[in-house]
Chains A and B, each alone.
Chain A
Amino acid sequence: MSDAQLLTPPTDAESTWRNYERKKLPSVAKLLSLAKSYTFHDVEESVR
């Protein structure tokens, strides 16, 4: 947390917005994982 955030406590509306509970879509996490796992090294291995 930055100094600015420490010095300025969130307002009620801000806190409500930030803490809103929303189910995350599993495929978004899967997308992040797929992108992270695809590296230059994989391509190099595939042509070796």
Chain B
Amino acid sequence: MELWREDSHATEAIAEGYFQIPNESCSMIKTMIGRLHLRKDSESIKRILAFNAVCEPISIVLEMARQEGYDVHLIEGVSTFKERDKRPEVVQFVTAELQKVAIWLTGKPVDQARLSYEIRRKNEISGKIGQILQLRAKSPLDVPGFGVLLLMLGSFNYFGDPVMFSALLDQLTAELEEAIRDPDPRPYIPLVLGGAFLGDRTLYNAVEASHGVIVGWEFTTRDYREDVPPLESISHFLLDSQLAGQYGEMVGAAVYLRKYHIESLVRETGARGVIAGSVTGCPYGSIVPQLERTYFKNLGIPYISLETSVHQDPPTEEQLTRLKAFVEMLS
């Protein structure tokens, strides 16, 4: 994400001009290679760890980065479509791939105690976010959709400060407990979001300006198992997330399984419709909504897909009009 947060138009121009990547290609791909090219002579970060099971354009970016002098390590991906695909040897394979990462990074096997500690901390944070989402369900307008997205992003990296992030979650929990005693009375249209809107946050605000509230998210928190060795726990997490359609991939198992996860979110939350976000120009992201649209149409669940770029640009009038018309249709 940081590769495209700043100066994304400039880095995209480098991709189109220097690397001759066609204009209509995915903005995420273009800004990634442009940014990596700009900072290839930086002394600080010269290594790229990539977990990319599926996206061919990102594989090309990584190869180009390798040619530009980066040390790139790829984790071999595995896709589980059915429970029976999660065989012990598959778990072992992913675990071995993760062990290779530790050796690539430090020259020695992973520090099991440290990783167990991090898994416990991650579960603790996920539990706090889960509690916040339950409280938010009682007065959802108190935490805007973009705020929820940040909570989930923060669960990945704690914004660099796990202690501060954890304290912030405690504060938000306390404030929400207070707020729901006198919930926001305004009516709203509950929605589920598949994928995410990248780039500018305004599209999240536009959902709320249209009286919609995202009450269900494809990216949800999930606990890591603490009853198995820590590297194996990560393998289970990965494979279980794939099987639950929560993994966020645009190919492989997600194409088949995401719709079931979204459908269950609709049932759980009472959402009246589904918005699917994807990146303009993504060859995979453009197919998933096409497949899901038919599925949800057959279920009688209204569905709209909105493509966005990674640029921090305000939404186009077309995006806003489609979004508002969709939410108004559900009211």
Contact = CB atoms under 8 A, between A and B. Distances in A.
A35 B150 contact: yes
Given A28-B144, A43-B160, A47-B44, A35 B153 contact: yes
Contacts of B200: none
A28 B184 contact: no
Nearest to B170: A27
Interface string B26-52: 000000000000000011110000000
A25 B175 contact: yes
Given A34-B168, A48-B43, A28 B2 contact: no
A3 B151 CA distance: 34
Interface residues of B, number: 38
A44 B45 contact: yes
Given A25-B175, A26-B175, A48 B44 contact: yes
Interface residues of A, number: 27
Interface in B240-296: none
A25 B142 contact: yes
Main secondary structure of the interface of A (DSSP, over half): helix
A28 B143 contact: yes
A5 B185 CA distance: 24
B179 interface: yes
A43 B158 CA distance: 13
A27 B160 contact: no
A40 B5 contact: yes
Interface string A37-48: 111101111111
B165 A2 contact: no
Given A39-B2, A39-B5, 12 more contacts: A2-B317, A17-B187, A22-B184, A30-B171, A31-B151, A31-B154, A35-B154, A38-B159, A40-B6, A42-B160, A43-B45, A44-B45
